[in-house]
Amino acid sequence: MRSLLLVASLMLALSCKREKTDAPENIQAGTERSDVAAAAATPKEIIICDQKNARIIMVDIANGNAITWEWKATAAYAMIRAGAQGWFSNLSEAKLVYNGKYILATASGGGVALISVASKKAIWFDYAGGNTHSAELLPNGNVVTASSTGGYLMIFTVDSYINDNSAQTGQIAFPDVHNVVWDHARQRLYAAGLNKLRVYSYNNSCNSPALSLITTYTMPEGNAHDLFPVYGSTTDLWLTNSGHIYKFNVTTGAFTLQKTISSVKTVSSGPSGYQTIIAQANNTGGETWRTNRILDINSAVVYSNTALGLYKARWKLVNTFSYPAGDSFHECTHP
């Protein structure tokens, strides 16, 4: 009997030892699984102009391609009067501004708007006309637009108390201009149309805003389309035309060919782990200039959705080339 009791005691001790030894391994394994899940859940979003559905969306490609945000000019939250909603047909560009808190949007219908990401309210909007392809923030809070039809830039005095009746300059002629980008470090404005890239200075005036042409560069080919900073660079801009993607160096004026590829409407790059993405028209989504997918620069599919008709797409990343660190909303007229 005493021997049986001794054997039972030894077996119980060994069992307890195994349980105590296993427990830390189970906890550690659980911790590792949680860390992996948390890392997978880190958002990696693309801002897309979905013309087919008359909206701007954000898509999180790190989490099942979920649409995390949507904006429509016709929605009540946008606070755009009925008579002005048509200005936002065929949304053409959506830029993240003011440290990621706002989106600056344009549309081929002629509209331009500054939209709060949190509330989705267009805190300022107006009409630029002429197939508005792009807009940019200026240092004092004013906005400059680029309109390809009619070929002109225009500066608006942004006042959140005044919508669709802003003070604005006359048209600054630039044939077929499709884009506009501010350079914060050099205090310069770049815009491209046809085979010309122009550099302007800005007088930073609230009451009498004006641009002055500094120099003009001739591109290797014509039909300029997209112009946007190369992420992390202090000197380079992405530039596309009918059949090529270039990098343009703002200090040397050099155009360096990156890719021979047709109908690229937009290029956007990011830090390590982010592909350089493009929106290349493929005659889907209801119009010849649209696409239903986003590719990387080597034409691999990054995101695809047959329900979309997209025009431009950019990573949801803060643009340090154009805007100062921690930049927050400000306007000329009301502090």
Calculate the average pLDDT of the chain: 90
pLDDT band of residue 334 (cuts 50, 70, 90) is: low
The tokens of 167 are what? 């003070």
How high is the pLDDT of residue 335?
58
Q: Is 253 left (phi over 0), alpha (psi -120 to 50) or beta?
A: left
How confident is the model over 85-96, as a mean pLDDT?
98
Q: What is the pLDDT of residues 309-318, one digit of tens each?
A: 999 999 999 9
83: Cβ–Cβ under 8 A, 6 or more apart, which residues? none
Give the C-alpha separation, 155 to 140, whole Å.
12
How confident is the model over 55-61, as a mean pLDDT?
98
- Percentage of residues of the chain with pLDDT beyond 90: 85
pLDDT at 22 over 70: no
Fold of 45-315: Methylamine Dehydrogenase; Chain H (2.130.10)
pLDDT at 192 over 90: yes
Higher pLDDT, 32 or 163: 163
pLDDT at 1 over 90: no
How confident is the model over 155-162, as a mean pLDDT?
93
How confident is the model over 66-92, as a mean pLDDT?
98
| Helix (H) / strand (E) containing 8 | helix 2-40
pLDDT at 266 over 70: yes
Nearest CA to 322 out of 227, 239, 216, 253 is that of 227
pLDDT at 19 over 50: no
CA–CA distances in Å: residue 147 to residues 144, 172, 183: 10, 10, 20
Give the C-alpha separation, 251 to 323, whole Å.
18
pLDDT band of residue 333 (cuts 50, 70, 90) is: confident
pLDDT at 276 over 70: yes
Q: Which of 2-6, 85-89, 110-114, 302-306 has the lowest mean pLDDT?
A: 2-6
The pTM is what?
A: 0.87
How confident is the model over 151-169, as a mean pLDDT?
94
How high is the pLDDT of residue 21?
38
Q: Is 77 helix (H, G, I), strand (E, B) or coil?
A: helix
**Contact (CB, 8 A) for 166 and 135:** no
Distance of CA 81 to the CA centre of its chain: 25
How confident is the model over 129-148, as a mean pLDDT?
97
* Residue listed under structure tokens 């929605």: 75
Higher pLDDT, 274 or 24: 274
How confident is the model over 276-291, as a mean pLDDT?
95
pLDDT at 207 over 90: no
